[in-house]
Amino acid sequence: MAPSTIIISCVLLFLHLEITRAKEVNCNSLTCGDIEIRFPFGLKGSNEDGRCSYYPSPSFQLACNNRSQAILSLPKLGDMLVTNIDYKSQSIKVKDPDNCLPKRFLKKWNLSGSPFKLNPTIYRTTPYNLTFLRCSNVTDTSQLPLLPVVSCLSNYSNSSVVIVSWARPIMPSSSTCEVISWALVPLPLFNFNMPYDLADALELVWTEPRCGHCALSAQLCGFSNHKKQTLQLACFPTPSTSKGISRSAKYGLAIGVGIPGLLCLIGLSCFMCGKVRMLRHRQERREPPVLTISLEPMPFVMGLDGATIEKYPKTLIGESGRLLKPNDNTCAICLSEYEPKETLRSIPECNHYFHAVCIDEWLKMNGTCPICRNSPEASSTLSFLSFSSSQ
């Protein structure tokens, strides 16, 4: 595989990882104080992907102030402090940051323009139109047992209190009351004759998007397709902090990284093998062939003792100098021609003969024939041969 192919494969691997990372939408649960913020809610300024919240409604975007308090902004009610969010029942509790909800009621509030409404299991569908009155010279509020007193609007130092009533109440003769305003007030579904603190928190619910079933199954809610701006929702497994990333993410990572990585590794291995093969080929062309030396033990023959050497036959050359082998007239040891009356000794195994003095010294050092390298048997007993040339 060519180096350019390997480089292209690695580049494609990195591009694949970047594209995969770009497609992923990291929607982690956020917190603001004690409030957990997750879909459909988002947190302003968190640098989170816009698709991690229900973007069609900006009211789901919460803010976190410098006191770590979650703030919900409603178009016609203003900024409200979030005290609790129940994702299973899709309800949220809010209260006035100054703990004075009646002040909000006096400003002709409503929930139109937001995805929220009063919780129908707690409040009547339509708020009551109540009368707010300011009464002076009230020194003892126990004189008004059936009339809720709005503490946050009252001024006890001046003996002035604010009360609410369905109709103009019958007041003690010592008190004088004047109507401040009429306002819609959400009242709970219980006996209206019981005193009720209007400064309590409001409980609101939302019906869109529907994610309560995801929370009931301990799953996260979100958009089913992050590639397209659709409003279709789906439930996703909650990531486990102890196990790291989810199993599906592990499978996707293994496939997305493993296959391109394996191809890149195979290409790199083929490239390295080709380089090694090329270097070997060049070495074989430049360097001479290496001779191999066998390490097998060579036979080593010791010299013979004198008694054994004396058993080898001797030959005395006559006056004529004629030999048994006319063509062999030179001693292979001293390279001198044989002369008449010289004594020769032959090796019985191969019948090669030499000067007796030469072969005796040779056999004492090496028990083999100088010509054919045959090793005579030391145990053989040979008779002394002598012949004389004819006169």
Global pTM exceeds 0.85: no
Considering only residues 351 and 282, tell me which one the structure prediction assigns the higher pLDDT.
351
Q: Tell me what the mean pLDDT of segment 359-381 comes to.
A: 75
Considering only residues 385 and 138, tell me which one the structure prediction assigns the higher pLDDT.
138
CA 10 from chain centre, in angstroms, equals: 18
pLDDT > 70? residue 374: yes
206 closest CA partner among 196, 219, 221: 221
* pLDDT of amino acid 380: 42
* pLDDT of amino acid 60: 93
Q: Tell me what the mean pLDDT of segment 236-243 comes to.
A: 62
* pLDDT of amino acid 20: 42
Q: Tell me what the mean pLDDT of segment 119-132 comes to.
A: 85
pLDDT tens-place string over residues 203-219: 999 999 999 999 999 88
CA distance 323 to 317: 7
Considering only residues 319 and 368, tell me which one the structure prediction assigns the higher pLDDT.
368
* Angle between helices 247-286 and 3-23 in degrees, nearest 10: 170
Amino acid at 46: S
Q: Tell me what the mean pLDDT of segment 228-238 comes to.
A: 79
Per-domain boundaries in the chain: 128-185, 301-391
| Strand arrangement, sheet containing 160-165 | 149-155, 160-165, 128-136, 176-185
Q: How confident is the model at residue 61 (pLDDT cuts 50, 70, 90)?
A: very high
* pLDDT of amino acid 114: 93
pLDDT tens-place string over residues 82-115: 999 999 999 999 999 998 888 888 888 889 899 9
* pLDDT of amino acid 272: 84
For residue 266, the tally of other CB atoms under 10 A from its CB is 13
CA distance 77 to 70: 16
Half-sphere exposure of 319 (CA within 13 A, CB side): 2
pLDDT > 60? residue 11: no
Q: Tell me what the mean pLDDT of segment 190-200 comes to.
A: 59
pLDDT > 70? residue 126: yes
Q: Tell me what the mean pLDDT of segment 148-152 comes to.
A: 82
The residues with which 265 forms a beta bridge, in sequence order, are none
Q: Which fold is adopted by the domain 301-391?
A: Herpes Virus-1 (3.30.40)
Q: How confident is the model at residue 19 (pLDDT cuts 50, 70, 90)?
A: very low
CA distance 333 to 206: 123
